[in-house]
Amino acid sequence: MEYQFKPAWWMTNRHVQTILPRAYRLRQRTPVDLEEIATPDGDFIELAWATPATPEAPLVIVLHGLEGNIDSFYARGMMQAVRNHGFDSVLMHFRNCSTHPNRMPRAYHSGETEDIGFLVKTLQARFPNRALYAVGFSLGGNVLAKYLGEQGSDCVLKGASVVSAPFDLSTSCQVIRRSCFKLYQKYLLDKLKKSTARKLPQIQSQLQLNESALMAIDDLWLFDEAVTAPLHGFEGAEDYYEKASGQPYLQHIAIPTLVIHAEDDPMLSTEAVPKAEQVSASVMLAVSKQGGHVGFLSGKNPFKPIFWLEQAVPHFFSQLQQGRRHDHPVSAA
């Protein structure tokens, strides 16, 4: 494997790899300009453009994770990293993760690819001579993988990278429900309930759910059963997980795609770890023993950690932009 991750000696624990990287980026800010673009259904998508812009540079679309946004540490870091490699970047806020609530009842979920498809078409029309790339983290990675598989050989992106994606949603949900003394579940649920509550008047009749009932939900599966599934036309949580999981789409990806995953990811199941027989020839797997969930910190100095993802992904895109798929390993010592 060319893209080889080795964790820092002082960060081999999977929970530390998952949680601590945020602490290193508490003060980082990436200058952005916000833009709203109207969607065909009468709603909007909020974009965060890295500034200053370089109009002729290739452009990287960044997709955040569950309840993430432009302030997510991995998003800020990646946008700066790709800029250092000569790329512009734009982050797409999933609906209801933006500055203010969306108008339509629907929000977003792990398998919703209409908005990324609309954005790609919009950017292609706006910048017909710019190469487009995309990187997705966690939920955003699953969305991206599903989109790439759906598009197949019609995909106009020049390359993509998928990081820590829950390719098997049902089993990964079960892991989150019990992992780390249910810390991850509480963290995600608190954010999900807060974002749902701010547009509850729009969706209350559709869900038959009042605020007290919403706030009483203490289980991720129950949230998807009561909110995510009915709000987006699924029969229930398991129907949603089956239809939204990105795993079946990996074999249909036709553009160069780097899939990064850690076997010790505390938020994903072993079934979510992609295997060689599950992906197309266009997919490069970078599956490491360690790395946590969107962690992948390396380096010898605890005061100056290396964010390996910010080396690997821009390097992959740079090689594609130069017309080369592989050249040498990107490893972290």
pLDDT digits (tens, 9 = 90+) for 97-130: 999 999 999 999 999 999 999 999 999 999 999 9
SS3 of the chain: CCEECCCCCCCCCHHHHHHCHHHHCCCCCCCEEEEEEECCCCCEEEEEEECCCCCCCCEEEEECCCCCCCCCHHHHHHHHHHHHCCCEEEEECCCCCCCCCCCCCCCCCCCCCHHHHHHHHHHHHHCCCCCEEEEEECHHHHHHHHHHHHHHHHCCCCEEEEECCCCCHHHHHHHHHHHHHHHHHHHHHHHHHHHHHCCHHHHHHHHCCCHHHHHHCCCHHHHHHHHHHHHCCCCCHHHHHHHHCCHHHHHHCCCCEEEEEECCCCCCCHHHCCCHHHCCCCEEEEEECCCCCCCCEECCCCCCCEECHHHHHHHHHHHHHCCCCCCCCEECC
Backbone angles phi, psi at 288, to 5 degrees: -110, 160
Q: What is the mean pLDDT of residues 237-255?
A: 98
pLDDT of residue 333: 38
Half-sphere exposure of 331 (CA within 13 A, CB side): 7
Amino acid letter for position 34? L
Q: Answer with the residue of higher pLDDT: 54 or 183.
A: 183
- Residues assigned a catalytic role: 138, 265, 293
pLDDT band at 326 (very low <50, low <70, confident <90, very high): low
Whether 3 has a pLDDT exceeding 90, the answer reads no
pLDDT, position 329: 46
First to last CA, the chain: 15
- CA 124 – CA 129 distance, rounded (Å): 8
Mean pLDDT of the chain: 94
Condensed to tens digits (0 to 9), the pLDDT of residues 151-199 reads: 999 999 999 999 999 999 999 999 999 999 999 999 999 999 999 999 9
Strand bridging mode 88-92 / 59-63? parallel
Contact yes or no for 143/63 (Cβ under 8 A):
yes
Find residue 137's DSSP bridge partners.
163
Query: Which neighbouring-strand residues pair with 284?
Result: 258
Q: Is residue 50 predicted with pLDDT exceeding 90?
A: yes
d(CA 316, CA 175): 30
Give the model's pLDDT for residue 2: 63
Is residue 45 over pLDDT 50? yes
Res 332: pLDDT: 47
Give residue 51's Cα distance to chain centre.
21
| pLDDT of res. 1 | 40
Specify the pTM. Answer: 0.96
The pLDDT tens digits of the residues spanning 197-240 come to 999 988 988 888 899 999 999 999 999 999 999 999 999 999 99
Paired tokens of 247: 């795993």
Give the whole-number percent of the chain exceeding pLDDT 70.
Answer: 97
- Dist. CA 143–CA 244, nearest whole Å: 8
Give pLDDT tens digits for 128-155.
Answer: 999 999 999 999 999 999 999 999 999 9
